[in-house]
A and B are shown apart, each in its own frame.
Chain A
Amino acid sequence: MKPIIETQVMRAVEAVPAAMLREARLARVREWIMAVVPPVLGLLVFAAIWQAVSLQNKAIPGPLPVWDAAVALFSKPFYVNGPNDQGIGWNILSSLQRVGLGFGLAALIGIPAGFIIGRFKFIAAMLAPIISLLRPVSPLAWLPIGLLVFKSANPASIWVIFISSIWPIILNTAAGVSQVPQDYLNVARVLNLSESKIITKVLFPAVLPHLLTGIRLSIGVAWLVIVAAEMLTGGVGIGFWVWDEWNNLNVAHIIIAIFVVGIVGLLLEQALIKLASFFDYQ
């Protein structure tokens, strides 16, 4: 009897891993299908609706002509034909440069300001009315002030980026600082850490996830605002390019610009989410 039982057991042991492997492989395939099929289907439905709209309204080009225009446009992204006619690559880069400068200044001032507001109740109470008053102001309302002060379009649009992207940085940093768990601060007190060590070893790492959320929101706002600001100020940039193509009545290019703005915004957001995931300790 004994050998029979043994072979049965051995067969069962062999059978289980094979079945489990198959099961696991199936689960992976199912997961992959679920990850790929719905988004692709969504894009196809979107393209179909777009095509239908373009058939109804001859002024709006359909997906295929826009695709052809995009291929032509991106085959020569970095040409320069005078100040008002430059490749799409230059336009994107100059917009990104303005966003970078405006956002950089906002971070430079907003992060320390957020730390101070989060750490000192008195200053928080002092600045609260100013922040709540200025935060909801439409970014473009700041443009005339910028033009008045800087007497030039480029710094004015950087100013608009700065003033509209500083609020999420300040508010998220301040919230992060005021939410640092008391436990960590107690540890710092028992260890007698110096103020500089408290900031570098305790406060800053504890606030970093909040800070990165603020940066993500503020870059999102900055990228939203730059297109509108450039439409008004002109020069080289994706927003100005949209306006220029509107004046040329080149609708395909306007649609391309919409996609470009969307894709660049998406990439910025994804890069910052990726960055934030490195600092998620929980």
Chain B
Amino acid sequence: MNAATVSQLHDTRFVELSRVNKAFATKKGVFLAVQDVNLSIKKGEFVSIIGHSGCGKSTVLNLIAGLLDASSGTLICNGREIAGPGPERSVVFQNHSLLPWLTCFGNIYLAVEQVFGKKEGKERLKQRTHAALELVGLAHAADKRPNEVSGGMKQRVGIARALAMEPKVLLMDEPFGALDALTRAHLQDELIRIVGETGSTVVMVTHDVDEAVLLSDRIVMMTNGPAATVGEILDVPIPRPRKRLELADDPDYVAARKAVLDFLYQRHARPAAAA
């Protein structure tokens, strides 16, 4: 294989999970959370993982992040085996996880300094931090502490922090789950714009069907746990950038939405006991 085909291979299988299992040791014995997960993600692709709660979708994300170690199987990112967490796979956490003693600027700067501090001067690092704040429209809140800004703004700082690290893959764990519907819609639109500008590869965990269809190129639908796995992968053939208002009547959008709903509530409905 020559260099060109290798790099092409890396681009089409930028993130690759093959035969991944993850078991947790619990008091009641071994709990198999996810079983035989196979998934490959192209460079620049936006992939959502959707499923009922407890289906192990966050487990899959944490495995890609390296925050969890797989019990068996291989995980590869950009041609390298994933061994532990690192800034090239930055994470937007569900509850923003900003350090409350640092300002919004300080939270992003900590990340920027960690990734670029060895090669770049302080001025450039500050520039990067300001640029990240600007990207999410929060230049004015740079000197505020996280507890002084709204939930939506905190989450935007979390996104800015993750993007400022210039990750190879942006991992988002139900990033808008804790927000009200209007703020969520607003941030989804922002995310569409930002991903359009940066061309990031994104893996997002969600339980919101509309969010998944609106944002994703492909939707990975997971079966119910324990021993959850990838049930089906749906292509969403709508060109990006997408406009929320125009989508409502788009036949592709309606079809995709119906397919996901059908999977979640017909074929893999949550067992009644767990609801």
Contacts of A186 in B (CB 8 A): 67, 85, 91, 93, 97
| A224–B145 CA distance with the chains assembled, in angstroms | 38
Contacts of B99 in A (CB 8 A): 184, 187, 201-202, 205
**A201 touching B91 by the CB < 8 A rule?**
no
| A190–B66 CA distance with the chains assembled, in angstroms | 8
B265 within 8 A of A: no
How does the 8 Å CB contact mask read for B83-98 relative to A, with 1 for contact and 0 for none? 0111101110101010
Majority SS of interface residues in chain A?
A: helix
A282 within 8 A of B: yes
Contacts of B110 in A (CB 8 A): 191, 193, 201
Closest to A183 in B: B97
**A190 touching B95 by the CB < 8 A rule?**
no
Q: Number of contacting residues on B, CB 8 A? A: 23
How does the 8 Å CB contact mask read for A151-195 relative to B, with 1 for contact and 0 for none? 000000000000000000000000000000001101101111100
Smallest beta-carbon distance B77→chain A, Å:
14
B100 within 8 A of A: yes
| A184–B93 CA distance with the chains assembled, in angstroms | 10
| A202–B114 CA distance with the chains assembled, in angstroms | 14
| A200–B15 CA distance with the chains assembled, in angstroms | 34
Smallest beta-carbon distance A104→chain B, Å:
25
Majority SS of interface residues in chain B?
A: loop
Whether A190 touches B145, Cβ cut-off 8 Å, given contacts A202-B99, A205-B101, is: no
Which of B95, B101, B111 has a CB less than 8 Å from the CB of A191?
B111
Contacts of A32 in B (CB 8 A): none
B147 within 8 A of A: yes
Closest to A193 in B: B114
Closest to A205 in B: B101
Contacts of A201 in B (CB 8 A): 99, 102, 110
B65 within 8 A of A: yes
How does the 8 Å CB contact mask read for B205-237 relative to A, with 1 for contact and 0 for none? 000000000000000000000000000000000
Contacts of B165 in A (CB 8 A): 191
| A140–B87 CA distance with the chains assembled, in angstroms | 54
**A192 touching B101 by the CB < 8 A rule?**
no
Closest to B110 in A: A201
Contacts of A192 in B (CB 8 A): 85-87, 114
Interface residues, chain B, with chain A CB atoms under 8 Å away: 65, 67, 84-87, 89-91, 93, 95, 97, 99-102, 110-111, 114-115, 145, 147, 165
Interface residues, chain A, with chain B CB atoms under 8 Å away: 183-184, 186-187, 189-193, 197, 201-202, 205-206, 279, 281-282
Q: List 9 A-B contacts (CB under 8 A).
A: A183-B93, A184-B99, A187-B93, A187-B97, A189-B85, A190-B91, A191-B165, A205-B101, A281-B101
Given contacts A186-B85, A187-B93, A281-B100, 8 further A-B contacts (CB under 8 A): A183-B95, A186-B91, A187-B97, A190-B87, A197-B114, A201-B110, A205-B101, A282-B147
